[in-house]
A = this chain, B = another copy of it.
Amino acid sequence: MTTGTRWLDSEQQVAWRAYLLGTARLMAKLDDDLRQFGLGINDYEILVRLSEAPDRRLRMADLADRLHQSRSRLTHTVGRLEAADLVRRTSCKSDKRGVWAELTDAGFSLLEQAAPSHVEGVRENLVDLATPEDFAAVGRVFDAVSEHIGQR
């Protein structure tokens, strides 16, 4: 009795492919639009998370988790952002192993410049293309995905 694979049905297949292609195109577009500010979407997200945090700073590991990135990748990226004077590193007093990544004024300022255009891009290329219900569904689905997969 062969417990065969539960393949995707035709509609699921189509939706899955649409998601793959749509995501690829969307990310490429957003990346592209951010290039005028010298940022990629990954850099941008880092700056945003920092800007929202208390004292505009986060511990490296915390930041890595929020973005689901390896600590190694984050070290490299923050290194570049630091070289561009957008982020500053300071060591953590209470845990000497720790490092704070802190948004500089220049970083905050660049973020203020880039944000309107970026958000407009997210609207134009995603949010405004969907009905509110459909977009809410996207949120629910990927929230469930995150929840299911959990931390790395």
Contacts and interface: CB of A to CB of B under 8 A. Distances in A.
Interface in A125-152: 125-127, 129-130, 133-146, 148-150, 152
Q: How many copies does the complex hold?
A: 2
A24 interface: yes
B21 A119 contact: no
A143 B15 CA distance: 8
A125 B137 contact: no
Nearest to A129: B144
Interface stretch (A3-11, A53-61, A76-84, A88-96): A3-11
A145 B69 CA distance: 25
Contacts of A126: 16, 141, 145
Interface residues of A, number: 55
Contacts of A25: 68, 145-146, 149-150, 152
Nearest to A14: B139
A122 B68 contact: no
Chain A contact surface mostly? helix
Interface in A23-52: 23-26, 28-29, 45
B6 A141 contact: no
Interface of A: 5-8, 11-12, 14-16, 18-26, 28-29, 45, 66-69, 115-116, 119-120, 122-127, 129-130, 133-146, 148-150, 152
Contacts of A124: 148
